[in-house]
Structure 1
Amino acid sequence: MKFLPSVHLPCHPWMAMVILPLLLLLVPLAAAQWSSCSKSDDYKSNSTYVANLSLLSSTLPKKAASSTTLFATSIMGNFPDIVYALTLCRGDSNASACESRVTTAFQDLLRLCPYKKNAAVYYDPCMLKFSNKNFLATTTVNDPLFIVNTKNFTTNADITQRLLFTLINSMAQLAANSLRRFTTSRLDVGSSPTLYCLMQCMPDLIPHDCESCFQDILNSTLEYLGGKQGGRVLGTRCYMRYEMYPFFQGDPKLRIINLAPHVPTINNTTTPATVYPQSQPPDAAPPPEGKVTVQEHNGRKSHKRALWIIVVVATLLSILMCFICFIVWKRRKGLLT
């Protein structure tokens, strides 16, 4: 292969300096958010386990998208290369987006956890887990990831604990008895901070088991997320997220206006866990009382719009820089001949 000397492309250094930062902006938007990889139980390339994963990656996304609950489990192969898999798209997703996201989740998980038989990945809109061990029968949170906002509430500790207890306790039964085991809420209590929350468990759980899973989340939230302006508990069988700003599609299904008088004593049996910080969005003015505004529930559309703007600008700049380089190259070639 013949390479042109750098003298023929005098603009390429500053062209890269302009375009590269824009392209880097796309990385955190496109990449998976949180993953969990086993430290042992590796598989080898070209093994039967890889073949089973490949089959799952082609069938599970379609299976989830065709489900009314956007949820699917599957078992592929036989011991010792058997693979158990589970995926769930968030309750405010649609089928076409779900299939695309689960397909991407398989690709990301194989890259993030190479050769690991036990791995999970969590995004805002979906999650995926596969393992060589049967985890499908479990009903607990099961080795959750804790993601916290780096900012603290300005209210005292007692009030913040009551806010979080009220939020999760009020939502658990509603979510557990819905078709998708999913619900959203907005908490407005006096002068306390307005909170938005989303909770979901796997649709194959019966309501009692779903509520039990949410009880584990409540315990974990009070222990690890207390005092934080936002956070998530991401588990295999259920998960929860709360923030001081709207982050889900549509109006909240539940509005909470009364604060629990106290937080009951909880027999906490959670094990020590690692808590990861999440990126902090810019401060926003507190939402008005009453119904969620159009601007609020279209927040996710604004994020998508920003992503498209970056893509378009980077593409146009690339074309412009290539055109300029071509013109400069032609002129220099004319001078040299």
Structure 2
Amino acid sequence: MAVVSSRSFVCCLLFLFIVVSQASAQYNYVYCDNNEGNYTAGSTYQTNLNTLLSNLTSNTQIDYGFYNFSYGQNSDTVNAIGLCRGDVEPDECRSCLSDARDNLTQLCPNQKEAILYHDRCMLRYSNRSIFGLMETQPSYYMWNANNATEVYQFNQVLNNLLRILTGIAASGDSRRKYAAAKADASNYQTIYGVVQCTPDLPQQECYRCLVGAIAEISACCSSRIGARVGRPSCNIRYENYSFYEPTAYAPAPAPLM
């Protein structure tokens, strides 16, 4: 898959290089934000950041894949969100977030705000409040190099699938806003789709985030047999193969009318 950030072209090239040259790190996109300021090695902020991320990734009380915690006081407060894909088991989720923590603090060694997207999880932290806010940047998108056959029908089935999943995910509760399902297109093509929001978002904000992400798919990746968009507050992905585990949170969509 190709990967492109919706930030500047220079930023795109930088992180395209990171993703391609460090495939062993197994993340899709990293963004180190200098706009919120930097911290110095050994500072109180760094100590709070390390403590928060360590507590987050070792927390065994949460079994639904969403972590949102703060640590510290005043200007040294750190806020973090960890989100795992809805089908990921708790142990695998914590392992993914632990790897994300290690990669993120190495690649962004002094930025107070940073985010990392992985296939199975997303981790972000900041010195500002990030809870309950619908945020669309920084985002990235990736696509499969191959085109679908009978593109019109493929896109019609895909859009219907993502629309149904968006409604299901947005109506989720404060623990999980996730939906996954498959739909059959033409020529024996099956589309597998996943949509998800951070569960701290209100229903309408989750819906709005996902609709915007779907619009990005239409702009960047129309007719591709697989693509994804990652945003801080939501993400979507579809493929022509199964990439998620069936769960109780993955109801089948209604047939295309």
Structure 1: 5+ residue stretches without partners: 1-26, 260-337
Whole-angstrom CA distance in 2 between matches of 1:108 and 1:48: 21
Match status 1:189 vs 2:175: no
Give the Cα–Cα distance (whole angstroms) in 2 for the partners of residues 254 and 238 of structure 1. Answer: 20
Matched residues, number: 231
Per the alignment, residue 9 of structure 2 pairs with none
Q: CA deviation at 1:256?
A: 5.2
Identity score, percent? 28
> Which residue number in structure 1 is paired with residue 121 of structure 2?
126
Question: Partner of 1:227 in structure 2?
Answer: 223
More strand by share: 2
CA distance in 1, matches of 2:138, 2:114: 12
What is the Cα deviation at residue 255 of structure 1?
4.4
Measure the CA separation in 2 of the matches of 1:129 and 1:232.
Answer: 19
CA contact (8 A) 1:160 1:226 kept: no
Mapping of residues 151-166 of structure 1, within 5 Å: 151-156=146-151, 158-166=152-160
> Which residue type is aligned with residue 97 of structure 2?
V
Contact 2:116 2:122 in 1 (8 A): yes
Counterpart secondary structure, 1:163: helix
Deviation by residue 1:166-218 (Cα, 9 ceiling, x = unmatched): 12111111122234211111111343732101111112223222222211122
CA RMSD of aligned residues (A): 2.2
| Change beyond 3 A, Cα 1:140–1:165 | farther
Which structure carries more helix by proportion? Answer: 1
Equivalent residues in 2 for 1:107-146, closer than 5 Å: 107-146=102-141
Cα displacement (A) at 1:229 = 1.4
Q: Of 60, 65, 81, which aligns to 2:56?
A: 60
Q: TM-score when scaled to structure 2?
A: 0.81
Query: Unaligned 5+ residue runs, structure 2?
Result: 1-21
Contact kept in structure 2, 1:188 and 1:256, CA below 8 Å: no
Q: How does 1:2-17 map to 2 (within 5 A)?
A: none
Provide runs of 4+ in structure 1 moved above 6 Å.
Answer: none
Q: Secondary structure at the match of 1:35?
A: strand
1:230-309 matches, cutoff 5 A? 230-250=226-246, 253-255=251-253, 257-258=255-256
1:167 and 2:155 are equivalent in the alignment: no
Deviations for 1:40-60, whole angstroms, at most 9, x for unmatched residues? 422211111111111112211
In the superposition, relative to structure 1, how do residues 96 and 110 fare at CA in structure 2: closer, same or farther (>3 Å)? Answer: same
Q: Given that residues 141 and 236 in structure 1 are in contact (C-alpha distance below 8 angstroms), is that contact kept between their aligned partners in structure 2?
A: yes
d(CA) in 1 for partners of 2:185, 2:228: 21
List per-residue Cα deviations over 1:10-37 (Å, max 9, x = no partner): xxxxxxxxxxxxxxxxx73554332111
SS in 2 for 1:118: strand
Q: TM-score, normalised by structure 1?
A: 0.63
